[in-house]
Amino acid sequence: MSFLEIRGVGMRFGGLQALDDVSFRVERGSVVGLIGPNGSGKTTLMNVISGVYKPTAGSVTFADKTIANVPTHQVCRLGIARTFQIVKPFASLTVRENVAVGAMYGRDGAKRTTAQAFDHASELLEIVSLARVADRPASDLTIPDRKRLEVAKALALDPDVLLLDEVMAGLNASEVDEALALLRSLSERGVTLIVVEHLMKAIMAVSTTIVVLAEGKKIAEGAPLEVTQSRAVIEAYLGARYVKRQEAARAVADARAAEGAR
Ligand SMILES: Nc1ncnc2c1ncn2[C@@H]1O[C@H](COP(=O)(O)OP(=O)(O)O)[C@@H](O)[C@H]1O
Ligand SMILES: [Mg+2]
């Protein structure tokens, strides 16, 4: 039995099949990059894995337990935490208080006193580079800092698996580099990561395996380089017409080169 297994997952919203027979395994300690065009089902899959949605087909098993039948707060106690694409901190609480709340309710939360939860929150704010704004209200934060807070809040739940939904959106180049360094350090700490990100360069740099969704179906899975060379993936991103045009252009160029050589 693998660490985390997504098996034949389907998710239907009325007439829309948002996920269709999606299967893959996540090994402990890996970084899985989940990519695909807009609307391909990435966030929906994060919602299924974190127990927010009960899939209409298939199952997700983690540490020998079926997640579909477990309420969300218990999924988090099992060791899976997530960030949200739309960031919603408790605006009136300080940054540190926002994280401390997680540290009190996460897996190890019951073992922590309030003072310990605040200490743990301070440590996590160091890790995500937010110590400088720890005592400011969350509503004061810039977008990149809100994303960092989102990661700290999820880490406060002491997860084995962390699901990150577009935490790099809106970051500039140097902030993306910082975020990548953070993901690598989390991975080194033994946290298994499932990362949804639009920025190809970032996701290719950090992932050990890439899973590609298009229109709710898994169309490719493999090492980053392998996946970027897949015709199905290039088509999903650039369109079948683009791929055909490129192939035609290459055939013409090859024919000319062959003629020139003669
Ligand atoms: N709660 C919902 N109710 C109805 N349709 C939804 C819901 N959540 C997502 N969808 C639809 O499912 C499809 C996949 O959405 P989503 O998972 O958000 O894609 P992605 O994150 O890859 O951009 C979209 O067509 C979206 O409109
Ligand atoms: Mg999304």
**Ligand 1 centre from 10 Cα, in Å?**
13
CA distance 48 to 4: 13
Would you state the pLDDT for residue 6? 96
CA nearest to 215, candidates 53, 45, 31, 46: 45
Would you state the pLDDT for residue 246? 80
Residue 155, pLDDT > 70, answer yes
Residue 89, pLDDT > 90, answer no
Residue 29, pLDDT > 90, answer yes
Mean local confidence (pLDDT), 163-170: 88
Residue 72, pLDDT > 80, answer no
Q: In the chain, what are the domain boundaries? A: 1-79+161-224, 84-158, 230-262
Which ligand approaches the C-alpha of residue 40 most closely? 1
> Which CATH code of 1.20.910.10, 3.30.460.80, 3.40.50.970, 3.40.50.300 fits the domain covering 1-79+161-224?
3.40.50.300
Q: Model pTM?
A: 0.86
Give the max Cα distance, the chain: 82
Nearest CA to ligand 1 atom 3: 13
Of the listed ranges 69-73, 103-107, 122-126, 187-191, the one predicted with least confidence: 69-73
Mean local confidence (pLDDT), 228-240: 82
Residue whose entry in the numeric block shows the structure tokens 């402990």: 28
Mean local confidence (pLDDT), 178-199: 91
Where does the pLDDT of residue 52 fall: very low under 50, low under 70, confident under 90, or very high at 90 and above?
confident
Torsion angles phi and psi, residue 179, rounded to 5: -65, -40
pLDDT more than 90, % of the chain? 53
Would you state the pLDDT for residue 149? 93
Give counts: helices (H), strands (E), the chain. 10, 10
Residue 242, pLDDT > 80, answer no
Query: Is 39 a pocket residue for ligand 1 (Cβ < 6 Å)?
Result: yes
Q: Which atom of ligand 1 sits closest to the CA of residue 36? A: 22
Where does the pLDDT of residue 236 fall: very low under 50, low under 70, confident under 90, or very high at 90 and above?
confident
CA distance 102 to 143: 20
Mean local confidence (pLDDT), 216-236: 90
CA distance 82 to 254: 49
Would you state the pLDDT for residue 1? 62
Query: Is 109 a pocket residue for ligand 1 (Cβ < 6 Å)?
Result: no
Query: Is 79 a pocket residue for ligand 1 (Cβ < 6 Å)?
Result: no
Say how many C-beta atoms besides its own lie within 10 A of residue 201's C-beta: 11
pLDDT more than 70, % of the chain? 98
Mean local confidence (pLDDT), 129-150: 92
Query: Using one digit for the tens of pLDDT, what is the confidence trace for 99-129?
Result: 999 888 777 767 888 999 999 999 999 988 8
**Ligand 2 centre from 200 Cα, in Å?**
15
